[in-house]
A and B are shown apart, each in its own frame.
Chain A
Amino acid sequence: MKPAMRDRKSQLTIAAVACLLGLLVVVQLRGQAGGSALATKSPQDLTILVGNLNTENDRLRAQVTSLQNQLDELRADRANGATSVGQLESDLGRIRAWAGLDPIAGKGVTVQVSGEIDATAAVDLLNELRNAGAEAIAIEDIRLIARTTVSGVPGSLDIDGVLLRDPFVIRAIGTPETLVGSLTRAGGIVAQLSATNPAASVEVQPVDELMVLPATRRDLIPDHGHPRL
């Protein structure tokens, strides 16, 4: 009897340990699977992320409202037999300007870059302008589009194959205060560039008058793709 009891006791102990073991294996596997990568972010990163998502969602909501209004007007025009040419032209003008196919006008900032700066730093500067909400950017008289690239070595950078002189000026259209604030904040891109490119200086000026940025001269219609149906 005694060995049998001891067997039952040992079986219960092993069962309890096995149960705990199984639970931990599941917890560990679920942890490894990751769930959301957000779970490992610091509160600071999460705050920045929430701020960015909020701003973008506001833009997207405005875009939804604008598109919905356009659609409603077009439907109403169509029902009344009215012309929709005016709205088509307006839509066309807006998209062409946004894409860089037409010139664009607005307030914003100028960024004068003097001295030797490397291509990566120039790309980082443009990236920061975009992140701050710039609606259009031009370096000297070259309008930036998605395909625009900056390359070369410090002192002889070129943009889309055109050599940049020293100094060169970047013009960006957007809310001047937002653009200036984003570029010049403590630890921001201008401070970083001063640290990594000591031979260069970057001067940011708000522009409260209308600037006109030119259209791109490049053909943006792809040769190797077609609309997906």
Chain B
Amino acid sequence: MTLLAARLRAIPSWQITLGIALLVLGFLIAAQLAAEGPRIRYTTQERSPLVETALGLQSAQDTLKSRIVALRTALQEIEHQGAGSAAVVSGLNGRLEEARIAAGLIALTGTGIVLRFEDSTEPIAPGGNESDYLVGASDLRTVVALLWQTGAEAIAINGERVTGTTAIIDIGGSMLVNAAYIAGPYQVTALGPKDLFTRLSAAPGWEEFVRTRRGAFGIGVAWAEPESVDVPAYAGSVNLRASRAVPSPGPSASAGPGGSVP
């Protein structure tokens, strides 16, 4: 024992330092290789150009959406200064404003809640399915449906306004909402009555969602009730390409046709 202690004491300090450094180096190399593991399986010659293409298209989409919002704002401004019979134009502008609010084309502010969902950090149980530990499109569709049922009046997911044409789909652990690529954590902003969260948490569907997703798989679920929430405008297309408007019978029938049937 004393011999071992003596030999240990005889090791120069620089060798001990070097030994520790090499140990850390080995650990880091192993960690790096482990992190690269799943990616290596996916690596193909075309993957990198595809990532570049996707990033470029997403950036172009953001620019186009900003342009659409700016054009709609400019249109609204010029419509409010419209020529023609003042009373007719004023009436039409009022109805246009209402239609745009109803359609989700105008950003809203008011009372509401913000929910946040994150992928689980728990280890996958033996024989478990990895996708159960990720926030999926079906989770967000469930939450959105529960929010509508409990009184929400406008909803956005990571800044994408939910409208009557919004699809929420999975794409390899992330999602497309309004065909925009979004990745976690997912933030769902809902405008509604002041007691929206009380109503939501009293809904059996919410209790089941929290129990099955957070309880069983560790999906991160958090919420906040700020003074007010902002829900952005829908910035996508409202062109009617395969359909045309049919004016309503009755007093609101003055709307003319829009779009065309090919």
Contacts and interface: CB of A to CB of B under 8 A. Distances in A.
A127 B107 contact: no
Interface string B177-219: 0111101000000011110000000000100000000000000
A123 B48 CA distance: 35
Contact of B78 (A74, A97, A106, A223): A74
Interface string B156-192: 0000001111111101111010111101000000011
B75 interface: yes
Interface residues of A, number: 113
Given A28-B32, A52-B176, A224-B112, A93 B83 contact: no
Given A85-B89, A88-B79, A227-B106, A134 B165 contact: yes
A78 B81 contact: yes
Interface string A51-73: 01111110111111011101100
B251 to A, nearest CB: 13
Contacts of B167: 127-128, 130-131
A10 B14 CA distance: 7
B116 interface: no
* Dominant secondary structure at the A interface: helix
Contacts, number: 364
A12 to B, nearest CB: 11
A151 to B, nearest CB: 7
Interface residues of B, number: 123
B55 to A, nearest CB: 7
Contact of A135 (B58, B61, B241): B241
B84 interface: yes
B99 A95 contact: yes
Contact of A102 (B107, B171, B241, B255): B255
Given A21-B24, A95-B105, A102-B245, A59 B169 contact: no
B259 A228 contact: no
Contact of A17 (B21, B75, B179): B21
A43 B171 CA distance: 11
A130 B163 CA distance: 10
A136 B150 CA distance: 24
B89 A225 contact: no
Interface of A: 7, 10-11, 13-14, 17-18, 20-21, 24-25, 27-28, 31-32, 36-50, 52-57, 59-64, 66-68, 70-71, 74-75, 77-78, 81-86, 88-108, 120, 123-124, 127-128, 130-131, 133-137, 144-151, 173-175, 210, 212, 215, 220-228
7 contacts: A53-B61, A88-B82, A95-B99, A101-B99, A127-B168, A147-B148, A222-B110
